[in-house]
């Protein structure tokens, strides 16, 4: 705790000297990854190559795969009745991801987009943890993408290998099937990785704000003035507003496209005559894999947004507790005794209970800023009651968080979205199942 306090109080003495982006900075490996993904648009040649790869793998290959390799004359196991909704779903989210990522990097630059140009204002702990999280982001991306890619590869290889005599081909049957299979796998990997990449980047940026909020919570345990606390919170709130404005279009379109694709999949699989003819593992396997991929990416976005919103709103609870501790301590210092609190030698308060202990509580990382422990307060020496009350009132009426066009993405919003979509699913199931019966 002592190291954290020293880092917070002397953060301006330890700054990143590398504020200008260059080839050998912290983002070197990340830039290499973007070049391999063909989304690096740092110059005209790379921008043309990036858009060419996008048109090939996100539009042309899926279109050729659907219209040429639909294989209407194949046997039951090799028909792909759900290929249209799968290709449209993956291509639509990939298009939104590519356009948003290209706009982010082209307008802000990778360093500014990831807030590395602002890290020299932060403490050493925040800088170290955020850089480590950046290095882990590619591993997290691989964890989400690779298992799905392995499953997709097994399905595609089986489809082409077992249906070699039925699938349309040009020239040599084995060469054409191999090339077609590789192109389809590359297209699937490209589109899926694009979507997960933007989701993981959003998670990374939200993680920085969580680190800053955790670092900001230390000001309630050290001697600080209201002006510096207010200035720091305004800076955090401004960054959350910037993140909301940058990602609101991507989050909203992802929510619309993923929800629409899931309803389309549900409608196709439950409509009259389909459930008995097409519900087979060989035909719905790719549909299920696409659904899992899209829903997982959407959950990454929503969980990251609600988590940072919950952390930001927990600051008001922490400030209220700090205000209470300072008021009780000040009262005890002036009156000589306090009937409701016991003051220790280190000016902290202790709460005792016979019902449960800290070991009995569930370890929830979302409640780090709003635990039940009373914080030691030093505020009454330098901060008046009116200033503390004004600061608490400000926190209560200026709750920060991730917003989408004015709507805060918190747990209440998620519950509303869930109930609306659940109601639509039940209505759709009622219409289709009645049609089958």
Pairwise CA distance, residues 326 & 385, whole Å: 8
Whether 113 and 105 have beta carbons less than 8 Å apart is answered as yes
pLDDT digits (tens, 9 = 90+) for 361-375: 444 554 556 554 555
The residue among 234 and 169 whose pLDDT is bigger is: 234
333 or 109, greater pLDDT: 109
Q: What integer is the mean pLDDT of 410-422?
A: 85
pLDDT band at 163 (very low <50, low <70, confident <90, very high): low
More confident residue, 245 or 282: 245
Residue 375 has what DSSP assignment? P
CA–CA gap between residue 401 and residue 408 (Å, rounded): 7
CA-nearest of 38, 35, 36, 34 to 50 is 38
Which of 94-98, 329-333, 400-404 bottoms out in mean pLDDT, i.e. has the lowest? 329-333
Query: What is the enclosing helix (H) or strand (E) of 407?
Result: strand 407-408
Q: Sorting pLDDT into bands at 50, 70 and 90, what band is 169?
A: low
Q: Could you list the beta-strand ranges (E) of 159-308.
A: none
Structure tokens that stand for 39 in this block: 């989304």
**Can you tell me the mean pLDDT for 21-27?**
57
CA angle 130, 297, 201 (to 5 degrees): 25
Phi/psi at 224 (5° precision): -140, 155
pLDDT tens track for 44-60: 898 899 999 999 999 99
User: Crossing angle of helices 173-216/226-270, nearest 10°?
Assistant: 150
Residue 65 tokens read as 């795969």
User: Residue 88: what pLDDT?
Assistant: 93
Report yes or no: 314 and 173 within 8 Å, Cβ to Cβ.
no
Distance (Å, whole) CA 227 – CA 211: 21
Q: Which residue has the higher pLDDT, 355 or 391?
A: 391
Residue appearing with tokens 């002397």: 10
**What is the predicted pLDDT for the residue at 264?**
86
Evaluated on CA atoms 369, 372, 376, 380, the torsion sign reads positive
Helix axes 281-335, 411-436, angle to 10 degrees: 150
DSSP string of 21-55, one letter each residue: --TTSTTHHHHHHHHHTT---SSHHHHHHHHHHHH
């Amino acid at each position: 705790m002592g190291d954290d306090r020293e880092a917070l109080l002397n953060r301006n003495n330890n700054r990143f000297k590398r504020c200008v982006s260059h080839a050998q900075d912290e983002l070197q490996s990340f830039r290499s990854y973007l070049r391999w993904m063909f989304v690096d648009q740092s110059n005209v040649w790379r921008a043309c190559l990036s858009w060419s790869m996008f048109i090939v793998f996100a539009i042309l290959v899926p279109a050729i795969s659907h219209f040429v390799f639909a294989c209407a004359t194949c046997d039951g196991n090799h028909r792909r009745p759900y290929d249209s909704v799968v290709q449209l779903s993956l291509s639509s989210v990939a298009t939104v991801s590519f356009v948003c990522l290209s706009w982010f990097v082209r307008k802000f630059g990778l360093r500014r987009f990831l807030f590395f140009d602002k890290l020299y204002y932060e403490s050493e702990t925040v800088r170290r943890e955020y850089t480590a999280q950046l290095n882990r982001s590619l591993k997290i991306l691989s964890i989400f993408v690779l298992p799905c890619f392995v499953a997709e590869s097994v399905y595609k290889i089986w489809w082409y290998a077992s249906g070699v005599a039925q699938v349309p081909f040009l020239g040599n049957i084995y060469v054409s099937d191999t090339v077609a299979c590789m192109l389809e796998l590359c297209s699937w990997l490209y589109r899926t990785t694009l979507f997960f990449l933007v989701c993981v980047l959003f998670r990374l940026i939200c993680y920085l704000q969580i680190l800053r909020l955790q670092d900001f919570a230390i000001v309630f345990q050290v001697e600080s003035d209201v002006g510096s606390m207010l200035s720091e919170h305004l800076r955090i709130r401004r960054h959350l507003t910037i993140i909301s404005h940058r990602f609101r279009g991507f989050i909203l379109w992802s929510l619309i496209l993923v929800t629409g694709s899931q309803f389309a999949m549900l409608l196709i699989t439950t409509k009259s005559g389909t459930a008995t003819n097409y519900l087979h593992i060989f035909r719905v396997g790719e549909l299920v894999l696409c659904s899992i991929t899209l829903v997982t990416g959407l959950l990454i976005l929503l969980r990251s947004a609600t988590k940072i919103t919950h952390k930001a709103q927990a600051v008001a609870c922490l400030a209220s507790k700090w205000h209470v501790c300072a008021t009780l301590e000040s009262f005890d210092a002036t009156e000589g005794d306090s009937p409701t609190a016991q003051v220790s030698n280190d000016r902290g308060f202790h709460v005792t209970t016979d019902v449960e202990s800290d070991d009995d509580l569930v370890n929830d990382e979302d409640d780090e800023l709003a635990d039940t422990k009373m914080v030691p307060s030093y505020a009454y020496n330098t901060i008046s009651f009116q200033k503390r009350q004004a600061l608490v009132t400000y926190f209560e009426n200026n709750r920060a968080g991730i917003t989408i066009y004015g709507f805060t993405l918190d747990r209440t919003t998620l519950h509303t979205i869930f109930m609306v979509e659940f109601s639509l699913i039940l209505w759709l199931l009622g219409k289709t199942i009645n049609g089958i019966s």
